Amino acid sequence: MSLNGKTAIVTGSTSGIGLGVARELARAGASVILNSFTDREEDHDLAREIGEEFGVTARYVSADMAKPDQCRALVETAGACDILVNNAGIQHVAAIEEFPVEKWDAIIAINLSSTFHTTAAALPLMRKAGWGRIINIASAHGLTASPYKGAYVAAKHGMVGFTKVTALETAREPITANAICPGYVLTPLVEDQIPDTMKEYDMSREEVIEQVMLERQPSKEFATVEELGGTAVFLCSDAAAQITGTTISVDGGWTAL
Is the CB of residue 92 less than 8 Å from the CB of residue 152? yes
Task: Check residue 149 and report its DSSP letter.
Answer: B
SS3 252: coil
What pairing do the DSSP bridges indicate for beta strands 132-137 and 175-182? parallel
The amino acid that residue 57 corresponds to is: T
* Separation CA 241–CA 56 (nearest Å): 24
Give kind and range of the element (H or E) at residue 136: strand 132-137
| 60 given a catalytic annotation | no
For the residues of 176-230, what is the DSSP string, one character each?
A: EEEEEEE-SB--HHHHHHHHHHHHHHT--HHHIIIIIITTT-TT-S-B-HHHHHH
What is the 8-class DSSP label of residue 63? Answer: -
Say which residues have a Cβ less than 8 Å from residue 7's Cβ, sequence separation at least 6: 30, 31, 32, 33, 78, 79, 80, 81, 82, 83
28 in Cβ contact with 49 (< 8 Å)? no
- In the set 60, 148, 152, 201, the catalytic residue is 152
219 contacts: CB under 8 Å, gap ≥ 6: 252, 253
Stretch (H or E) spanning 24: helix 16-27
The residues annotated with a catalytic role in the active site are 152
